[in-house]
Structure 1
Amino acid sequence: MQLLPSLPNPSVFVLDNAPYHSQLTEESRCPTTAIRKADLIRWLKQHKSSIPPAATCPELLLFCQQNRPQPQYKIDNTIRMWGHEVIRLPPGHPELNAIEQVWGCMKRHVRSTLQRFTWTDLQDRLEEARHMVHKDVWTGAVQHSRKFEEEYWKTIIINIASDDEDDDVFFESDVE
């Protein structure tokens, strides 16, 4: 926990959807099929949801899903507690995350220079790759991600005149 207190306030953290970034708080977890019926009922009561009499476990699980709270992530709460902001990348878009570009550069170096398949040689190539990542590499990765983001936004058309929620966002590929 040395990073958060040392950053200037406010800083912005851009997080991908890696599992270690996506651990839910206890309050925002929704029950799963591994829970007993009594616990499902208790969860629904805690979340002030109506419980139909004689509901089966699958029906109770469906009610839980319908009354699921907004996800809150442990790491987001910790980051905000220190006065910083969190932006989460959309799932399935590693192109928007500059670190993915850097990892790719490092992996290409290791793959192209690894001569002997030994642990020592692998560690040496990884260390070389780590030293290759300097300010210019990061700058290029961030520029690449920004360029991709700009192109991504160009493909979205927002119809603000529509009252139908399903018609609010179109992708360029949907419009002919």
Structure 2
Amino acid sequence: MNGELFLRWLTSQLLPSLTEPSVLVMDNAPYHSQLTEESRCPTTSTKKADIIIWLEQHNVLFRPHATQPELLLISKPNKTEPQYKVDNIIPSWSHEVVRLPPAHPELNAIEQVWGYLKRHIRSSLHHFTRADLQARLEEATLCATGEV
């Protein structure tokens, strides 16, 4: 998965299928966190000329003959709050975005499900074959849904 594929899926599949206003929970996967062009800040891989353009666009004063590292130091305190592409797209479809804080997988329901499935499979997988893995996965799914 990458940001471009995620945005395409979001706008062509998920959002059109939601019939009522919904809350979409975003974790910190890189493809959920693509910055808008306006909120991108120069990095060490940014060319000096592009840093200068960024500083001028943000009305930040700098010495004309400053080096790239000096320009980066000047840009850091002037960077804007990050804005994510999905945070602009989702509300335009009348839905809300909730972002999970970084490094808190316990707040992400799917992480809990994956954790349960992995623990179950690890404890019951006797032979590492595709068939045994599939059987343990089905068994874990049934246990998780209360069907066993």
TM-score (norm 2): 0.78
1:123 aligns with 2:95: no
1:87-117 per-residue CA deviation (whole Å, 9 max, x = no partner) reads 1111121222222211111111211221211
Instruction: Kindly report the root-mean-square deviation, in angstroms, between the aligned alpha carbons of the 2 structures.
Output: 2.0
1:32 aligns with 2:43: yes
Corresponding residue of 1:19: 30
For residues 32 and 51 of structure 1, what CA distance do their matches in structure 2 show?
17
For residues 58 and 118 of structure 2, what CA distance do their matches in structure 1 show?
47
For residues 76 and 64 of structure 1, what CA distance do their matches in structure 2 show?
24
Shift >6 Å, 4+ stretches? none
Letter in 2 for 1:99: I
Letter in 2 for 1:113: S
Q: CA deviation at 1:132?
A: 4.3
For residues 51 and 113 of structure 1, what CA distance do their matches in structure 2 show?
63
Letter in 2 for 1:34: S
Q: Structure 1 vs Structure 2: percent identity of aligned residues?
A: 65
- Aligned residue for 2:24, secondary structure, equals strand
For residues 24 and 130 of structure 1, what CA distance do their matches in structure 2 show?
36
- Aligned residue for 1:122, secondary structure, equals helix
For residues 57 and 50 of structure 1, what CA distance do their matches in structure 2 show?
14
Question: RCO greater where, 1 or 2, for CA within 8 Å and sep 6 or more?
Answer: 2
Find the partner of 1:43 among 39, 42, 54. Answer: 54
